[in-house]
Structure 1
C-alpha cells in the first residue's frame, strides 16, 4: 500500500506556496506593515512633550484606522490615518494625500485647532464614535 505522506507533504507545500503568492500580491508583509506602523507612531510621538497626550492619540488613531494610511471608510470620504472626510482635509491646509507623514501632520493640526489636545479628541471620540 503506498504511503500518503509524500502526497500530503506535496499538498501542504503547494498550499503554502499559494498562500505566499496571495499574500505577496496583496501587499506588504505583516512585518513590513508593523514596521511602517511603528514609524508612523514614532513620527507622531516626536511632536508631543507629554507621553499621556501621545497615548490618547495612539488610541484614537488605532480606533479610527489602525494607523493605516490607506484606510478608506466605505460609506463616506473618510480616508487615511486620521480618517478625515474631504471637508476636514480642507480645514488643515494640507491636501488629501496618501503620504502617511502628511496625514499625521494634518491630523495633529486638526486636533490642535478643534480640540486643543489629543486626550480631548479621544474623549470626544469615546462619547460620539467620531471626532
Structure 2
C-alpha cells in the first residue's frame, strides 16, 4: 500500500484498518511490535491508569471520550499528516516531554500531560469535551 494513501487518512484506526485489509488481501500477516517494558501499558491498561488518575466519574468519562476519538486509547497513535501523537494527540508531540522524559512510551505520562492541558486550557476534561463536541477537536 502506498504510504501516501495512509498519510491521507486522518484517523489512526482507519489507517490501521486500511493497512490490515491491504495486508490480508496481499496475503501478508501483520504482527505487533515486541512488547515494551511493563511500565508501558496498552490501550486497556491506559484506560485503567486514567481511571485511577481521574477519580471523578464525569471528568473521567469526558477525558475518555476525547481519548477514544483522538487515539482509540492507543498510546502510540500518530497522525501522519499533522504529527500529533499519543493518547491525547499532542501537537507538537514533544510538548508532552514537560510531563516526563518517557512521554513517547508511557501512557501515564501522556495522561498527566493531557489532564494538565485540558485543565489549563479549558478548566476541566468535561469542558474540553464540550468544546470537542462543538468543534470536532480540542
**TM-score bucket (shorter structure):** 0.5 to 0.7
In 1, Cα distance between the equivalents of 2:90 and 2:74?
13
Structure 1 residues 90, 38: closer, same or farther in 2, change over 3 A? closer
Deviation of the 1:93 alpha carbon: 4.8
Structure 1 residues 36, 128: closer, same or farther in 2, change over 3 A? same
In 2, Cα distance between the equivalents of 1:70 and 1:91?
15
Deviation of the 1:27 alpha carbon: 4.2
- Aligned length in residues: 105
1:43 aligns to 2:49 (yes or no)? yes
Q: Which has the higher helix share?
A: 1
Deviation of the 1:103 alpha carbon: 0.9
1:116 aligns to 2:123 (yes or no)? yes
User: What's the TM-score, normalizing by structure 2?
Assistant: 0.65
Structure 1 residues 130, 94: closer, same or farther in 2, change over 3 A? farther
In 1, Cα distance between the equivalents of 2:124 and 2:94?
17
Deviation of the 1:48 alpha carbon: 2.1
CA-based RMSD: 2.6
Higher relative contact order by CA 8 Å / sep ≥ 6: 1 or 2?
2
In 1, Cα distance between the equivalents of 2:58 and 2:47?
14
1:97 to 97, 104, 117: 104
